[in-house]
Structure 1
Amino acid sequence: MEWEYQEVKPKGTLSEYIECIWWENFHEGSKSQRHHYLVPDKSIELIFTSSTIQRFKQEQKKATQNKSQVCGIRTIPQICVLNESPIIGVRFLPRTFYSLCQVDIRNTVDNCLVPSEIFGESIITLEQDIYKSPSQNNRIKLIENYFENYIEKNSKERDPHFEELISLIEQSKGLSLISDLAQKVELSLKTTERKFKQKLGVTPKMYSRLVRFTSYFMKNATSGEYIGRFDFYDQAHFIKEVKNFTGLSPEKLNAMKLGIQDKIFRKNSY
């Protein structure tokens, strides 16, 4: 198996909303379906594909089946089954996605929705144009033009306090107390909780845990190093947190190939 992954970073206003536009090509000897075990990684993605993607949540027998889709933040693992590589994807920044989303963002957590539910009917035209496009460069331009226009006409008012809180959590690798961060941006803890649920779909504590968890993959740290660096009480607490997010022990998780998530976690290293 081999993944060829590429991405481009948007510039200007788009860089405040979109982390990257990406695509990957999967090469395998057989033509069998691809099964990916996806762990939480903080990503919110719009995926364009003409092939059905099946997603099974933890301990769920019935899959959600969509073609192009918007996938919200994951707090639990998913098994993703697909027949071919997506055509192209858009990875959004968690701190500003709320201003683009036309549904209650809580409905996107651990869920995948059709793009028109999130962005309205205009996204259908973009999808059709992407399928007709002769090259990735042309598709990138189509996506950039669409979201530049969408932001100008349809985006909601930005919330600088919320966005600063997200940035502070990420800068601290999820280690700072939420009460301290709320005080820093002059918000009450109750208001902070409300803003996160409305604009991210999860609590600030959960987002901090996700940020800290994704750091687990940095520099292939051992369990002992990770416990010391990321403020876990002891080995048992560390193992419990990894199992909560992945359903796996740290040892099994370390031995697992991350596949299509490999590039995401490598970028989070420091």
Structure 2
Amino acid sequence: MYKEYSPCNILAPFIYHFWEYKGETRSGLKFNIPPHGCSDFVFTGGSAADSIRNGLIMKPYHSYFFGPMNTFTELVARTNFIHIIGVRFRPCGLFRFIEIPLNELVNQGLDSQEFPAIFSQSFIYKLCESNQNPIDTIEHELVRYVYKNNMDTEKQISYAVSLISRQKGVVSIKELATEVCLCLRQFERKFKFYTGYSPKEYSRIIKFWNAIHLLKSNISFDNLLSVAIQAGYYDTPHLYREVKRLSGNTPNAFLSLPTNEKVEVLHFEL
């Protein structure tokens, strides 16, 4: 039901991936969506009516912007079928298309018409009604935007983001600031403006995902303490608190999942 699609080479520096959730469901089914350190544009098809995400009622034939999240969000289905398409922007990637301070949109979901959006309402109707592949249609529109706008990406913060990912969230914030040639205060301010997160918050999310992949991997661990230490946590309670806060579930819930099952969206009965 959940699939991901890689962007073309032109968009790859700015977009992490396109994603699609499509299929039968049940009214009242709850989906937990962990934070990814990114922001998303979400499109609802004509059959995806009245889903609720963090109190926001997602209507058909609409697009929504979800800013950076620092905890898991909930989506509750109110129909028997859902079709949702998303564009997940890399940290700093959204600024290639629109200038907006992401630190003001943390944990917020907005109808795209509520702020200067990339996609017009006419484009959304065209997307929902067209027989063409919707991912291709969205990608074409974004490529058009890249050539239309000449805004530069923030190279210092983008580099810092890549360093945090490379170190799997286990980093020194002071050393990061030095590495990108900024004083600590300026580094933290710019990082939050362009990503929505403090460097520490973003590092916690990256560390969380590393822990989840370790929990789901085929690597043999004696106990959760081994996973915690490998992922950079102090002890098992520390791992437990972080996984619970960011996913709404305990580490044990991920141990029982098949290694090939995606954990970007987790669903439960209400």
Shorter-normalised TM-score: what interval? Answer: 0.7 to 0.9
State how far apart, in whole Å, the 2-side matches of 1:172 and 1:99 are.
25
Secondary structure of the structure 2 residue equivalent to 1:202: coil
- Whether contact under 8 Å (1:17, 1:97) holds in the other structure is yes
Secondary structure of the structure 2 residue equivalent to 1:196: helix
Are the structure 2 counterparts of residues 41 and 121 from structure 1 closer, same or farther at C-alpha, using a change threshold of 3 Å? Answer: closer
Structure 1 residue 209 corresponds to structure 2 residue 207: no
Partner of 1:54: 52
Are the structure 2 counterparts of residues 102 and 158 from structure 1 closer, same or farther at C-alpha, using a change threshold of 3 Å? Answer: closer
Residue 153 of structure 1: how far off its partner (Å): 2.9
- Look up the equivalent residue of 1:89 and give its one-letter code: G
- Look up the equivalent residue of 1:18 and give its one-letter code: I
Spell out structure 1 runs of 4+ moving beyond 4 A.
252-257
Which of 132, 148, 151 is equivalent to 2:146?
151
- Whether contact under 8 Å (1:102, 1:120) holds in the other structure is no
Q: How many residues in Structure 1 have an aligned counterpart in Structure 2?
A: 251
State how far apart, in whole Å, the 2-side matches of 1:121 and 1:171 are.
30
Which of 183, 186, 190 is equivalent to 1:191?
186
Structure 1 residue 64 corresponds to structure 2 residue 61: no
Secondary structure of the structure 2 residue equivalent to 1:85: strand
Are the structure 2 counterparts of residues 184 and 208 from structure 1 closer, same or farther at C-alpha, using a change threshold of 3 Å? Answer: same
Aligned positions of 1:124-135 closer than 5 A: 124-135=121-132
Partner of 2:34: 39
Are the structure 2 counterparts of residues 223 and 168 from structure 1 closer, same or farther at C-alpha, using a change threshold of 3 Å? Answer: same
Aligned positions of 1:99-248 closer than 5 A: 99-117=96-114, 119-120=116-117, 122-136=119-133, 139-154=134-149, 156-219=151-214, 220=216, 222-248=223-249
Residue 48 of structure 1: how far off its partner (Å): 0.9
Are the structure 2 counterparts of residues 213 and 27 from structure 1 closer, same or farther at C-alpha, using a change threshold of 3 Å? Answer: same
Aligned positions of 1:82-101 closer than 5 A: 82=77, 83=79, 84-101=81-98
Are the structure 2 counterparts of residues 118 and 99 from structure 1 closer, same or farther at C-alpha, using a change threshold of 3 Å? Answer: farther
Are the structure 2 counterparts of residues 118 and 157 from structure 1 closer, same or farther at C-alpha, using a change threshold of 3 Å? Answer: farther
Are the structure 2 counterparts of residues 184 and 252 from structure 1 closer, same or farther at C-alpha, using a change threshold of 3 Å? Answer: same
Are the structure 2 counterparts of residues 118 and 144 from structure 1 closer, same or farther at C-alpha, using a change threshold of 3 Å? Answer: farther
Residue 16 of structure 1: how far off its partner (Å): 1.2
Secondary structure of the structure 2 residue equivalent to 1:194: helix
- Look up the equivalent residue of 2:50 and give its one-letter code: T
Secondary structure of the structure 1 residue equivalent to 2:262: helix
Structure 1 residue 262 corresponds to structure 2 residue 262: yes
TM-score (norm 1): 0.81
Are the structure 2 counterparts of residues 46 and 230 from structure 1 closer, same or farther at C-alpha, using a change threshold of 3 Å? Answer: same
Gaps of 5+ in 1: 57-62, 266-270
Residue 248 of structure 1: how far off its partner (Å): 4.0
State how far apart, in whole Å, the 2-side matches of 1:251 and 1:89 are.
29
CA RMSD of aligned residues (A): 2.8
Are the structure 2 counterparts of residues 160 and 121 from structure 1 closer, same or farther at C-alpha, using a change threshold of 3 Å? Answer: closer
Percent of residue pairs bearing the same amino acid type: 25
Residue 154 of structure 1: how far off its partner (Å): 4.0
State how far apart, in whole Å, the 1-side matches of 2:121 and 2:177 are.
39
Residue 192 of structure 1: how far off its partner (Å): 1.1
Which of 17, 22, 25 is equivalent to 1:20?
17
- Whether contact under 8 Å (2:64, 2:112) holds in the other structure is yes
More helix by share: 1
